[in-house]
Structure formats: C-alpha cells, structure tokens
C-alpha cells in the first residue's frame, strides 16, 4: 500500500473508529509508542458536554469508567493535547483516543492458557513468554494471546482490567521470540516502569543464533529502523537517519560455531524487530528468521549432506533463534533492583547442541 493510499484511508476514517492498523505505532511521545484507536471531529452545534459523556455515546462496547481511566492515562486528546474526563467539548475540536498498544478488534476473552510466571507480587508480574504466542490480539490473532492469558490469570482480581491503559504490558516481543516480559498491575507501577524503559535504565539482554562467524568479539549497530518502503510487513535500517527511529543494539559473541555464531544482544532502544533487522543489516541474519532471509542456507557448502543438516536444524528450531533471556528493573514500590534470568528454551538448546556437534566434526 502506498503512503498516499494510507493518507486517504486516514481522511476517510476521520469520523469514528480507525479501521487500519499496523504493528508499528502511529507516533511516539516521550519514548512511549502510541496507536490511535478513535477519532472524532465535534459536530457544529454541539452543546458543551463532558468529554467522557461525549465518548461513551460514540464508542461501542465501552463504559464511562473505562473512558475515565483512559483520560487518567493521558489517552484522551483534544487537538493533540491530553485532557481530563471532565473537559467540556467544543464544536470543531478534534478528539482522539490513543493507546500504548494496537487496537483490539474484539472484546478480550479470558482464556485458560498456562503462564510461565517467573515472579509476581502486588505490583508487577514477570512472565516467560513461549515462542509462538502473540502478545496483543489483532491482525488475525484474536485469541490465544498473552493478553487473553492475563485476562484469565487476573479474572478474580477486581482491580485489574486488561483493557485499562493504566495497567498491563509495558513492552513487547515478537510472536516467535521467547523470553521475559514485565506486566504492571497498578497505575503507579506502569508509570514507573514506563519511565525506566524511556530513560534506558532497564537491563534487557537477548541470546541469538545468527548466520556466519563474527570477526570481532563485540560491537554496536546504530541505524534508524522504520517500515520497509518495499514491504510494509517488514522493517528496514535507514543509516542516513532521514527515516525511521533511532535504534542502537550492542552485541557480544558468546561462541562461534562453524557457520553460525551465538551472540548476546543488549538493547539500548526497543524498536519493532530491532535485533532481527540490525543483525541482517550487518550481514548476520538470525538463524531461521523467515522474514529477514535467515531461513535459507547463507553459509557453508551446498552438499546434500550439509543441506540435510540445515533442514534438520530448521525443524529443531522452527522460528527465529532469539530469546529475551534477562530483564532487570527497579521495583516500582520498593525501589530495589530486580534482575531475572530465563533458561534457553528447548528448541534453541537443541539447535546450539547440533551446531556444536557439527563444529567438532567439521
């Protein structure tokens, strides 16, 4: 879809619900990624009316309480500026509702999906997400997501609502990336954790298997990341800085194994597909990353024996070899440093084992 077609859709959807949605946020404000969910232009002749009353009459399936919570989270905007729920609307004003997550296209259904909980208290929950689980509903994934699982987990907690923008997931990882995520159970916790992610004081380290041996022991990739101009489903690096968002990834080699390397990646920023895109940019796509070309034989010979070995490796780890292994943050209530580590999932353990055996026999 061309940029002008997107602009046309935006103008056609000016009144009411926003019908289009990409995984990339619509804009970023103070380090917070935001998606526009609803947009209204106040009609001529509209009498002065509280904005929560105005919106509850127009947004299907919502409640005044939810709208008030959204206003508390600075999600209700008038002409681009946050307002409180008692703000009185005026004719001609532009009202938008923004969230720190993509738009849910249906009501969230609580589903009894097992969660691998690393830590939980009254303020935060740290969960180890398996590969294959989508974080937020949308784009054809309306159930079976982490949010559906959280709705079930908190079903008996009257203070937790998965649609409340003041609560919930503070960051995201891709569907086929495994590893640690933190969930805020209170508005204060989300505010604190959000500030830590914005100020880059959290500790996030990933383990990846990439194609090709690394010539240096460590390095840094700096390059703006934005939507690929030729493929809207992928991201790309724009080194000149004219497009995309600033992104920095630090990497360190843990082990070189024949035609792949096991690397540790530390995020300084948190862009969509950041590690996957940055590693491809420097010539080392993640192993079996179909979106970025890692599901092909990129190193080694072309013998049938070697091709069979690679095919079996793809079967052993049928997704991009990326795991969010460590997560550290300051506890929003106690002020204590909290550091968590998750073991490598079985598929990546098996992949690395196979490459070690291959390297020893090469």
Known catalytic residues are 174
Among the residues of the chain, which ranges form H helices? 3-12, 51-56, 64-72, 146-153, 187-198, 274-281, 304-316, 346-361
Separation in Å, CA 219 to CA 248, 264, 274, 293: 11, 11, 15, 22
| Residue 213 φ/ψ, nearest 5 degrees | -75, 140
Tell me how far apart the alpha carbons of residues 160 and 136 are, in angstroms, rounded to a whole number. 16
Separation in Å, CA 125 to CA 113, 181, 288: 16, 8, 31
Which residue(s) pair with 16 in the sheet? 39
Tell me how far apart the alpha carbons of residues 225 and 272 are, in angstroms, rounded to a whole number. 8
Q: Return the closest-CA partner of residue 55 out of 25, 88, 18.
A: 88
Tell me how far apart the alpha carbons of residues 286 and 270 are, in angstroms, rounded to a whole number. 17
Those residues whose C-beta lies under 8 Å from the C-beta of residue 267, and which sit 6 or more positions away, are: 204, 206, 248, 249, 250, 274, 275
Q: Return the closest-CA partner of residue 209 out of 248, 264, 172.
A: 264
Tell me how far apart the alpha carbons of residues 332 and 166 are, in angstroms, rounded to a whole number. 14
| H/E element, 89 | strand 88-89
Those residues whose C-beta lies under 8 Å from the C-beta of residue 65, and which sit 6 or more positions away, are: none
For tokens 């506890």, name the residue: 331
Quick one: tokens of 184? 């805020």
Tell me how far apart the alpha carbons of residues 334 and 342 are, in angstroms, rounded to a whole number. 23
């Amino acid at each position: 879809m061309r940029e002008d077609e997107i602009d046309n859709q935006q103008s056609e959807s000016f009144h009411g619900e926003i019908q289009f949605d990409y995984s990339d946020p619509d804009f970023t404000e103070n380090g917070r990624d935001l998606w526009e969910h609803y947009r209204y232009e106040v009609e001529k002749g509209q009498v002065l009316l509280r904005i929560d009353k105005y919106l509850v009459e127009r947004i299907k399936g919502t409640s005044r309480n939810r709208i008030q919570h959204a206003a508390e989270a600075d999600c209700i905007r008038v002409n681009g500026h946050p307002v409180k729920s008692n703000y009185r609307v005026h004719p001609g004003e532009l009202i938008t509702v923004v969230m720190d997550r993509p738009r849910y296209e249906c009501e969230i259904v609580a589903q009894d999906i097992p969660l691998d909980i690393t830590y939980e208290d009254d303020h935060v929950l740290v969960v180890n997400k398996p590969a294959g689980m989508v974080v937020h509903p949308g784009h054809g994934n309306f159930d079976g997501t982490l949010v559906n699982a959280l709705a079930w987990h908190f079903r008996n907690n009257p203070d937790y609502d998965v649609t409340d923008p003041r609560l919930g997931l503070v960051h995201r990882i891709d569907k086929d990336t495994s590893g640690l995520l933190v969930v805020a159970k209170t508005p204060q916790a989300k505010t604190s954790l959000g500030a830590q992610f914005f100020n880059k004081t959290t500790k996030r380290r990933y383990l990846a298997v990439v194609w090709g041996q690394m010539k240096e022991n460590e390095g840094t990739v700096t390059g703006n990341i934005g939507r690929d101009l030729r493929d809207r489903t992928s991201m790309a690096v724009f080194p000149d800085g004219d497009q995309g968002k600033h992104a920095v990834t630090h990497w360190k080699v843990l082990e070189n194994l024949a035609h792949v390397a096991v690397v540790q990646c530390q995020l300084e920023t948190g862009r969509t597909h950041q590690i996957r895109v940055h590693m491809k940019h420097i010539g080392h796509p993640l192993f079996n990353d179909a979106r970025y070309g890692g599901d092909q034989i990129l190193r080694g010979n072309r013998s049938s024996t070697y091709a069979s070995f690679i095919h079996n490796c793809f079967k052993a780890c049928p997704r991009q070899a990326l795991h969010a292994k460590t997560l550290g943050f300051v506890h929003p209530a106690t002020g204590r440093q909290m550091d968590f580590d998750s073991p490598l999932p079985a598929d990546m353990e098996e992949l690395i084992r196979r490459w070690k055996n291959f390297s020893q026999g090469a």
